[in-house]
Structure 1
Amino acid sequence: MKFDQSGVDALMEITARPELVFVRGEGSWLEDHNGKRYLDLVQGWAVTCLGHCPPALVEAITEQAKVLINPSPAFYNQPSMDLAKRITGASCFDRVFFANSGAEANEGAIKLARKWGRVKRSGAYKIITFEHGFHGRTLATMSASGKPGWDTLYAPQVDGFPKARLNDLDSVKALIDDQTVAVMLEPVQGEAGVLPASTEFMQALRELTRQQGLLLIVDEVQTGMGRTGKMFAYQHSGITPDIMTLAKGIGGGVPLAALCAREEVCVFQHGDQGGTYNGNPLMTAAGIAVFDTINAPGFMDSVNERAQQLSTGLLALSAKWGMKGERGLGMLRALMMDRADGAAIVEVARKRSPQGMLLNAPRADVLRFMPALNISADEIDLALAWLDEIIAQVRA
């Protein structure tokens, strides 16, 4: 198949893309327009959590598309109610609002917290977020994010998001005032290079917010749906947040997200929140297929076994090449390198022949791994062997 430059020219330029077109995917593998196959350890940034085109997801979408796609969110539909029951049953939350992206779910969390502040805290609106955090690409979620440079990209920012430092409780305390309504964080900062919040910090933060009468919001867009070895990352620290957002893995590859909250926080009135496609049966049927697969007996045991295998392998590579170790939770892991050659490793991995490998470097000296939760042991061994080979080539 010829690469279609005219098609490229018709797309808005928003990122540097290599001259390849993916045409087919199955499990942990993608195939491009030339028939070359790639072992995918990115999976759409933890989106295709069951790999590419998993049969259960394909079947759920196909069967739902035959009967009802979108009756509008002004009416109930069965798949959305069924998925909401599954999420509330597996978590500490009572209510779910479905959306289409992580940014939209986080935007909803910000709106819900501000509405709660108006109703419960005399109009308090500030939400403490964290340096290097990432919450999305709307104006409000970019303002909430702590990504360097984003404070000026679309200035002026949305007001009300003072930044604390992850795992530093004193930095949070210093920002609390009578206008503070919530604290919002990722249990693992993914875009920052896979930086986990410690169990001690999560527990202390929950206690602090409880004492101060503030909401605790966990952004689990990347960490939710089994990615960290538990269904939700907040469960590692045994806390009860007030609000949680989900996206990426919840749909297994389709646009689906969720805003989850405890009953006492649900202060939206009719008309406060909505969305044309939100909670449509086609996407929520896909969500049910993903949820049921992840919660099938033995699935999470396998996820944790593969996570341990990946962690051990990355540590071995780190020791061999004089790197700085690895970190992460479950199947969200990072190799901390001793030099800034992450981009070169990503490029050489993609260009590898006859088969390539897809990697991600969120920082120049960090490689991030987000494989399918059901990647096989043999595929992890293959990935580690190829990575060793690629590092040798880059550093020759």
Structure 2
Amino acid sequence: MPKTSKVITCKATICWGIGKPITVEEIQVDPPKATEVRVKMLCASICHTDISSTEGFPHGKFPLALGHEGVGVIESVGDQVKNLKEGDVNCVSEKTNLCLKYPVMWTGLMPDNTSRMSIRGERIYHITSCATWSEYMVSDANYILKVDPTIDRAHASFISCGFSTGFGAAWKEANVESGSTVAVFGLGAVGLGAVIGAKLQGASRIIGIDTNENKREKGEAFGITDFINPGDSDNSASELVKELTGGMGVDYSFECTGVSTVLTESLEATKIGTGKTIVISVGAEPILPVGLFAILHGRTLKGTLFGGLKAVSDLSIVAEKCQKKEFPLQELFTHEVTLADINKAFELVKQPNCVKVVINMS
């Protein structure tokens, strides 16, 4: 097989603009350039950032090819790609974690500011440096991680963004200490990743907070010791956390909802002077309000992208743990659709029993 091949016509999920229908269209995918690979997608999944992208975050450029979580098989490679070959199985996501040489691209284009996708002659944008809800897509080789081909496809898709972001936030970004206390706001895939990350770091108490009562059981499967549903009390979530910790608050909190008003709550839930809050999730609003006194009391607020994980040295460890079934990732897999039924997926994510929707591409 030659290192590069011809233009491929295939199907992909396209968003045409804010508030406009999402459609499955025939598109053209160019061959990879010198440092790129073209991937035949096998399985993808839905992350909240995909939904935010249809609402104009992070760049608001359309038409937009959706998806940034997924696993596939390399179809062809550019002539300067040395570490990957046709047939390798890969997780696809923005994995270089703030590398200045290979930064995460939020422009909707490739690192050279061009696109490998088009529809009826019009350029197609994508969320980051890939578009996984397409039968084929092109990515720079630096954003590709080779994994064991026997890995569960759905689980590989989960670790390519959301779950690993939460896990890495507890492991790498916060470096949760053994015996410490933790609060996780929002028990979706990201929050559950933070829960088990804190558990494996040796946290003595992990409090899960979610308004969806169905998340209690999911949280327990990943390692929460306590569950708070703020809707069950007149007190705020931070006050409820303090009630469980003798009025002190926790050592670490993780904001995994993307709801702006929860940010101050997650800060207030930590100990004065030493508490640390990691902001993980994002909403469509670029500005988040923060309570001034929550910061003035000596707490630390830190953001993270992909949980502080690096592609080869860190994500490969997550993939190995996934392969060894050290994570109960089957608890995330609640629904499955085909690419043709992608609009059904957007309805499924609104259901209270939904955690992750898998898109079967094969």
Task: Settle same-fold status: TM greater than 0.5.
Answer: no
Q: Which has the higher strand share?
A: 2
Greater C-alpha radius of gyration: 1
What is the TM-score when the length of structure 2 is the normalising length? 0.38
What is the TM-score when the length of structure 1 is the normalising length? 0.36
Q: Which has the higher helix share?
A: 1
